[in-house]
C-alpha cells in the first residue's frame, strides 16, 4: 500500500473507532428517552433536532469545505483560518440572534406541544451556533492529520451530552428542557475546547479577495447539503402519508440496521477529503482518486456481504425475554441490503466529487445532490404505493445511484480521472449475488453456508485492491 493510502488507512481507523464510540454513546439515549419521555415529548425532541440539522447547514455556510480547500494553497494558511472563522462566527451570531427573536414563531411552525417551547427553540439554535463556531477548528485538526485529538474531543462532547441526559432527564425528570440543556451545554463545551486550538494562529487583517473566494467556494455547497438532507429524510413522511405509521416503524427500524455501511461512508469521507486536498497539486492526482475508489469498493463489498448474510441471525440474538430487534420487525429485513447498496452509491459519489472540490467547481454540487433529491421524491411517490416500505428503500437506492451518475458525468468534465469502471461493475454484480443468496437462505441458521459465501466475497473484494 502506497504512502498516501497508509495515511488514509491510519486516519480511517482512528476516525472509525471514534465514530463507533460516538454512535454507541448516542444509542444509549434511545432507551433512556423511550422509558422516560412521553410520546409527545419525544416528538418535540425529534422536531427540535430536525430544526438543528437544517439550521446547521446554513450556520456553517460552506466555510468548512472552503477552508479545507484553500488551506492547502500557498497563501498564508493563517489568513484562510482567520477569514473562515470570521465568516462562521458572524453567521453563528446571527443564528443565535434569530433564536432569541423568532423562537415563538418557530415553535408554532414546529407545532411543539410542551410549555416553554420558545425557550427550547432558543436553546436549539444556540446549539447550532456553538457547533458552527467549533467547525473550523475541527476542520483544521483534520487537515493537519491530528486525528487522535479530533476524535478525543468529539467523543468527549458526546459523552458529556449523554451524561447530562442521564442526570437531567432520567434522574431529575426535566423532560424536553433537560434534553436541550444537555445539548447546549455539551455544544458549548465543544466550542470552548476547540476555539483555543486556533486562537494563537488567527491574524486579524481583513482580505476582501480571500473572503470572497471562500464565499464563492462555500456558498454553492449550502443548497447541495440541503438537497442531500432531503434524500436522507424525505422518505419517512412520504411513507407515513402513503402507507401509514406501521410501515414507517418497520422501515425505520430496519433502515437503522444499515448503519455499518453508513459509518463506513462517513469515515471514508472524513479521512478522504483532507488527503486528496493535500495532494491537489500532485500530477498523479488522477491515479490517487482512482485508487481510492478501488479501496472503498473493496471495503464496501466485504461489509455488504457480511451484514446482508448475517443480519437475520444478528437481530435474533436473545436479549432478556426478547431479541436484539423485536420479532415483529423482522419482516422488513429486506430493507437492509437495499439501503446499504444505496450507501455504497453515496460512497462512490463521495469519491467522484473530489474532482469537483479540487477544481473549485462547487457550483456543480447542487446539480449532483439536487438530482438525487428530486429522484428520491419522485421514486418514493411512484414505488411506495407499489411496494410499501420496500418501495421507500428502492427509492433511496435509486436516488443515490442517480447522484453517482450525475457526479460521474460532471466530474469527468473538470478533471480527467480513469476511474475503475470495471471494478464498479464487478462490485455491483457481487452485491447482487450476495443479496440473492441472502433471500434464498433462511433468515436464521445455515451459518456455515452464509460464512462460506461471505468469505468468498471478501476474497474477491481483496482481489479488487491488489488488481
pLDDT of residue 467: 59
pLDDT at 301: 94
**Residue 436 half-sphere exposure toward CB, CA atoms < 13 A:** 6
Domain boundary among 219, 254, 271: 219
Measure Cα distances from 67 to 4, 62, 73 in Å: 21, 9, 10
Predicted TM-score (pTM) of the model is 0.71
What is the distance between the alpha carbons of residues 9 and 272, in angstroms, rounded to a whole number? 10
Residue for grid cell 433536532: 49
Under 8 Å between Cβ of 186 and 161: yes
Q: Could you tell me if 273 and 357 are in contact, meaning their C-beta atoms sit under 8 angstroms apart?
A: yes
> What are the φ and ψ backbone dihedral angles of 319, each rounded to 5 degrees?
-130, 105
Residues 61 and 198 both lie in one domain: yes
Candidates 224, 147, 230, 219; CA nearest to 410 is 224
Q: Which residues pair with 323 in a beta bridge?
A: 318
Question: Residue 1 has what pLDDT?
Answer: 45
Kindly state whether residues 164 and 305 are assigned to the same domain. Answer: no
Collapsing DSSP to helix, strand or coil, 114 comes out as coil
Measured in whole angstroms, how far is the alpha carbon of residue 14 from the centre of its chain? 17
- Mark out the alpha helices in 37-146 (DSSP H runs): 39-60, 63-71, 77-109, 117-143
Q: Which residue has the cell 458572524?
A: 90
**For position 393, what pLDDT does the model report?**
94
**Quick one: 113 and 197 in the same domain?**
yes
Assess contact for 8 and 271: CB atoms under 8 A: yes
Q: Are residues 210 and 159 in the same domain?
A: yes
Residues 133 and 179 in one domain: yes
Q: Tell whether 238 and 206 lie within a shared domain.
A: no
Residue 415 and residue 319 in one domain: yes
In a shared domain, residues 233 and 268: yes
pLDDT (tens place) for every residue of the chain, 467 residues total = 445 556 555 655 565 566 666 666 665 666 566 567 775 676 677 667 767 877 888 888 888 888 877 877 656 778 888 888 888 889 888 878 877 888 888 888 767 766 788 888 889 899 999 999 998 898 888 777 787 888 888 888 888 988 998 899 888 888 888 989 999 999 999 999 988 988 888 887 778 888 888 888 887 777 877 787 778 777 777 777 787 767 766 777 788 788 889 888 887 877 767 777 777 677 777 778 888 888 889 999 999 999 999 998 888 888 766 676 777 778 889 999 999 999 999 999 988 888 887 777 877 888 888 899 999 999 999 999 998 889 999 999 999 999 999 998 888 877 777 888 888 999 999 999 999 999 999 888 888 899 999 999 888 888 876 65
Distance of alpha carbon 100 from alpha carbon 133, whole angstroms: 18
Overall domain count for the chain:
2
Nearest to 64 by CA among 1, 115, 133: 133
Give the domain extent around 53.
1-219
Out of 167, 186, 219, a domain closes at 219
pLDDT confidence of residue 30: 60
Cα separation, 122 vs 276, in Å, equals 38
What is the rounded CA–CA span in Å between residue 120 and residue 107? 8
Q: Which of 401, 413, 402, 403 is nearest to 355 (CA)?
A: 413
For residues 198 and 331, state if they share a domain: no
Residues 6 or more apart in contact with residue 146 via CB below 8 angstroms: none
Positive or negative CA dihedral for 227, 232, 233, 239? positive
* Domain-terminating residue out of 165, 200, 219: 219
Q: Report helix, strand or coil for 322.
A: strand
Report the C-alpha gap between 241 and 89 in whole angstroms: 39
**Which three cell numbers, joined as nine digits, stand for 308?**
446482508
d(CA 426, CA 99) in angstroms, rounded, equals: 50
Query: Are both 307 and 378 inside the same structural domain?
Result: yes
Indicate whether 72 and 92 sit together in one domain.
yes
Question: Is residue 207 located within the same domain as residue 234?
Answer: no
d(C-alpha 219, C-alpha 17), whole Å: 32
Amino acid at each position: 500500500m502506497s504512502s498516501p493510502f497508509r495515511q488514509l488507512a491510519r486516519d480511517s481507523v482512528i476516525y472509525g473507532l471514534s465514530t463507533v464510540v460516538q454512535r454507541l454513546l448516542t444509542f444509549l439515549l434511545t432507551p433512556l428517552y423511550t422509558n422516560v419521555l412521553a410520546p409527545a415529548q419525544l416528538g418535540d425532541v425529534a422536531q427540535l433536532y430536525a430544526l438543528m440539522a437544517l439550521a446547521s447547514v446554513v450556520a456553517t455556510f460552506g466555510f468548512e469545505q472552503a477552508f479545507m480547500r484553500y488551506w492547502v494553497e500557498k497563501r498564508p494558511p493563517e489568513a484562510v483560518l482567520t477569514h473562515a472563522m470570521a465568516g462562521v462566527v458572524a453567521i453563528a451570531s446571527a443564528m443565535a440572534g434569530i433564536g432569541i427573536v423568532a423562537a415563538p414563531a418557530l415553535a408554532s411552525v414546529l407545532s411543539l406541544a410542551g410549555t416553554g417551547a420558545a425557550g427550547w427553540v432558543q436553546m436549539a439554535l444556540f446549539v447550532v451556533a456553538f457547533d458552527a463556531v467549533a467547525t473550523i477548528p475541527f476542520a483544521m485538526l483534520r487537515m493537519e492529520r491530528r486525528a487522535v485529538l479530533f476524535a478525543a474531543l468529539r467523543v468527549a462532547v458526546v459523552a458529556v451530552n449523554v451524561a447530562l441526559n442521564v442526570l437531567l432527564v432520567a434522574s431529575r425528570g426535566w423532560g424536553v428542557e433537560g434534553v436541550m440543556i444537555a445539548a447546549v451545554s455539551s455544544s458549548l463545551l465543544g466550542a470552548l475546547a476547540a476555539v483555543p486550538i486556533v486562537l494563537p494562529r488567527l491574524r486579524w487583517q481583513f482580505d476582501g479577495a480571500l473572503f470572497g473566494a471562500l464565499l464563492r467556494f462555500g456558498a454553492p455547497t449550502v443548497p447541495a447539503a440541503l438537497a442531500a438532507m432531503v434524500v436522507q429524510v424525505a422518505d419517512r413522511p412520504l411513507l407515513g402519508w402513503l402507507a401509514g405509521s406501521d410501515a414507517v416503524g418497520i422501515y425505520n427500524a430496519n433502515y437503522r440496521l444499515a448503519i455499518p455501511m453508513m459509518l463506513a461512508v462517513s469515515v471514508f469521507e472524513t479521512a478522504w477529503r483532507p488527503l486528496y486536498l493535500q495532494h491537489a497539486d500532485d500530477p498523479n492526482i488522477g491515479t490517487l482518486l482512482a485508487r481510492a475508489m478501488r479501496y472503498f469498493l473493496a471495503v464496501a463489498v466485504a461489509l455488504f456481504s457480511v451484514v446482508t448474510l448475517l443480519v437475520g441471525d444478528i437481530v435474533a440474538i436473545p436479549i432478556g425475554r426478547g431479541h436484539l430487534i423485536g420479532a415483529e420487525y423482522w419482516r422488513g429485513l429486506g430493507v437492509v441490503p437495499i439501503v446499504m447498496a444505496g450507501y455504497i452509491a453515496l460512497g462512490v459519489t463521495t469519491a467522484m466529487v473530489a474532482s469537483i472540490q479540487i477544481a473549485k467547481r462547487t457550483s456543480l454540487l447542487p446539480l449532483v445532490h439536487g438530482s438525487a433529491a428530486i429522484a428520491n421524491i419522485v421514486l418514493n411517490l411512484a414505488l411506495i404505493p407499489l411496494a410499501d416500505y420496500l418501495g421507500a428503500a428502492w427509492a433511496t437506492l435509486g436516488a443515490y445511484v442517480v447522484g453517482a451518475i450525475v457526479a460521474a458525468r460532471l466530474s469527468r468534465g473538470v478533471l480527467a480521472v480513469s476511474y475503475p469502471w470495471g471494478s464498479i461493475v464487478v462490485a455491483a454484480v457481487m452485491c447482487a449475488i450476495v443479496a440473492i443468496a441472502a433471500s434464498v437462505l433462511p433468515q436464521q441458521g445455515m451459518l456455515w453456508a452464509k460464512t462460506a459465501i461471505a468469505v468468498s466475497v471478501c476474497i474477491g473484494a481483496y482481489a479488487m485492491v491488489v488488481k
